[in-house]
Copies of this chain bind each other. A is one copy, B any other.
């Protein structure tokens, strides 16, 4: 006979699954390299190492889920913010603003997406390259529209969009690695202005 799970058990398992994911994010955000162990995650989640494998197929699958998870979260935040504006420049500016602020607020997310992600991106079968492209294409579409509206000088929109995203990665990474206090307000403005000028806002 096959037993069915009760709601109570289902709820407990769902909770544990989330607990493991949370522990994984913590661990991943802590030790910068791709060196974390399943054992450390299990420990942090308060389970036996074997139990981990009842919830996730293997390490690779876990990483994939964590990254997709965080990425989806970030993307949703950006999309929501963009929806508030109609002018493309405003959309762009809003994207930048919310992106920076989210990363500043959710350091864990920033660390995993910015530091960890590029590593695994090359290690694991490139399941994630699309994420990179997604983000760049996002910006590219805005630039294309601005080009169509003749509001910025001619340029290779893909290259510009790539450069645009690159400024973020680099700046956020430098912030993640630094201990010193940063004047966020000024830094943020500089970054936004840099890219606005970069694409050629008149």
Docked pose: A178 CA to B115 CA in angstroms = 21
Q: Which of B122, B165, B187 contacts A156 (CB 8 A)?
A: B187
Which residue in chain B gives the minimum CB-CB distance to A187?
Answer: B159
Q: Which of B115, B159, B194 contacts A171 (CB 8 A)?
A: B159
Supposing A155-B194, A156-B186, A197-B198 touch, asked if A168 and B166 sit within 8 A by C-beta, the answer is yes
**A177 within 8 Å of B (CB atoms):** yes
Contact present for A159 and B191 (CB under 8 Å) = yes
**A162 within 8 Å of B (CB atoms):** yes
Quick one: copies of this chain in the complex? 2
**A32 within 8 Å of B (CB atoms):** yes
**A5 within 8 Å of B (CB atoms):** no
Within 8 A of B (CB), among A147-184: 153, 155-156, 159-160, 162-171, 174, 177, 183
**A118 within 8 Å of B (CB atoms):** yes
Give the chain B neighbours of A33 by CB distance below 8 A: 119, 122-123
Contact present for B35 and A123 (CB under 8 Å) = yes
Which residues from chain A sit less than 8 Å from chain B, CB to CB?
A: 32-35, 115, 118-119, 122-123, 129, 132, 136, 153, 155-156, 159-160, 162-171, 174, 177, 183, 186-187, 189-191, 193-195, 197-200
- List 25 interface pairs A-B (beta carbons < 8 Å), by A numbering: A32-B122, A32-B123, A33-B123, A35-B123, A115-B122, A118-B119, A119-B119, A119-B122, A129-B177, A136-B174, A155-B193, A155-B194, A156-B183, A159-B186, A159-B187, A159-B190, A159-B191, A159-B194, A162-B170, A163-B190, A166-B170, A169-B169, A194-B199, A195-B198, A198-B198
